[in-house]
Structure 1
Amino acid sequence: MFLFTVTKPGLRQAGALALCAVCLVGTVTAAVHLAGKSVTANAAVETGIETTQDIATYFTGYGFDVDLSTAAVDKVKVPKKWDDSFTAFNQVVGESGLSLADYKGKTVEKWTALCPKLSDGESDTYCVLLVYKARAVGAYLLAKPSGEVTGLVTAAKASADAAALEDPAAETSAGVEEESLYPTE
Structure 2
Amino acid sequence: MFIYTVRASTLRFVGVLCVALVTLITLLAFVPSLGDNNTPAGAPASNSQAIRYDKIKSAADAAEFLSQFGWKVKPTPVEETEVTIPSEFDRIFTSYNEIQKQQGLDLSKYKRKTVKRYTFELAEYNGYDGRVYANVLVYRNRVIGGDICSADMTGFMHGFDVN
The normalised TM-score by structure 2 is 0.66
Q: How much identity, in percent, do the aligned residues show? A: 24
Q: In the alignment, does 2:49 pair up with 1:39? A: yes
Contact 1:119 1:125 in 2 (8 A): no
Q: Deviations over 1:47-106 (max 9, x none)?
A: 221112211221112111111123531111111111222111111122322111011122
User: Does the alignment pair 1:56 with 2:63?
Assistant: yes
Give the match for residue 111 of structure 1.
Answer: 118
Q: For residue 31 of structure 2, give the secondary structure of its aligned residue in structure 1.
A: helix
> SS of the counterpart of 2:23?
helix
Q: Greater helix percent: which structure?
A: 1
In the other structure, the counterpart of 2:141 is 134
1:89-128 correspondence runs (5 A):
89-118=96-125, 123-128=130-135
Structure 1 distance, partners of 2:135, 2:28, is 41
Distance of 2:110 and 2:29 partners within structure 1: 38
Q: Secondary structure at the match of 2:150?
A: strand
Runs of 5+ consecutive residues of structure 2 not aligned to the other structure: 1-10, 38-47
Does the aligned pair in 2 maintain the 1:92–1:151 contact within 8 Å?
A: yes
Confirm or deny: 8 A CA contact 2:134 2:147 kept in the other structure.
Answer: yes
Q: How much has 1:143 moved relative to structure 2?
A: 1.3
Bigger relative CO (Cα 8 Å, ≥ 6 apart): 2
* Length, aligned pairs only: 136
Unmatched tracts of structure 1, length 5 or more: 1-7, 158-185
> Highest Rg: 1 or 2?
1
**8 Å CA contact 1:113, 1:126 repeated in 2:** yes
Whole-Å separation in 1 of the counterparts to 2:91 and 2:126: 29
- Alpha-carbon distance in structure 1 between the residues aligned to 2:126 and 2:19: 65
